[in-house]
Amino acid sequence: MNILWVLTGGGLGAVARYLAGVWLMSRFPEPPFPVAMLIVNLVGSLGLGFFFGLYFQAIPLEAYDDSLYLFLGLGFFGAFTTFSTFSTETVTLLYKKKKKQAAFYVLFSIGGSIILFLAGYLSSLFMLTAF
């Protein structure tokens, strides 16, 4: 049953990433760096942090028996955000000799994802204690 939770959440996350990417690329048709994937990864990190804080009130180290974690945390957010596409787009920028754009993309993707994960996590904990 656990595999089904991951499969379902992952399928929905992948479709959501695709739709968000298509929509964002229509808004930014010729960006200097991969804006769509940056935004998707930042939003996904924020959402995962918010989920962890709201649902677990902690960052779980072992939650592989929890069906909501498997569906939403591992499945949906795992498929919604993508390190492989980030890596491909970074290498593409480097091949095109766009070193500044590649550096900006790496810095904001990694740093921004960590900061927004923490922001989501801490804001959900704040919400829980405020209400």
HSE-up (13 A, CA, CB side) for residue 15 = 6
Check whether 78 is labelled as a binding-site residue: yes
CA 113 vs CA 35, 59, 65: distances in Å: 14, 15, 26
Residue among 14, 15, 37 at smallest CA distance from 24: 37
Specify the pLDDT at position 96.
96
Tens of each residue's pLDDT in the chain, 131 residues: 999 999 999 999 999 999 999 999 999 999 989 999 999 999 999 999 999 999 999 998 888 999 999 999 999 999 999 899 999 999 999 999 999 999 999 999 999 999 999 999 999 999 999 87
pLDDT of residue 130: 86
Burial class (CB in 10 A: 0-12, 13-18, 19+), 97: exposed
CA–CA gap between residue 41 and residue 47 (Å, rounded) = 10
Task: State residue 60's pLDDT score.
Answer: 87
Q: Is the pTM of this model over 0.75?
A: yes
Domain range summary for the chain, segments of one domain joined by +: 2-130
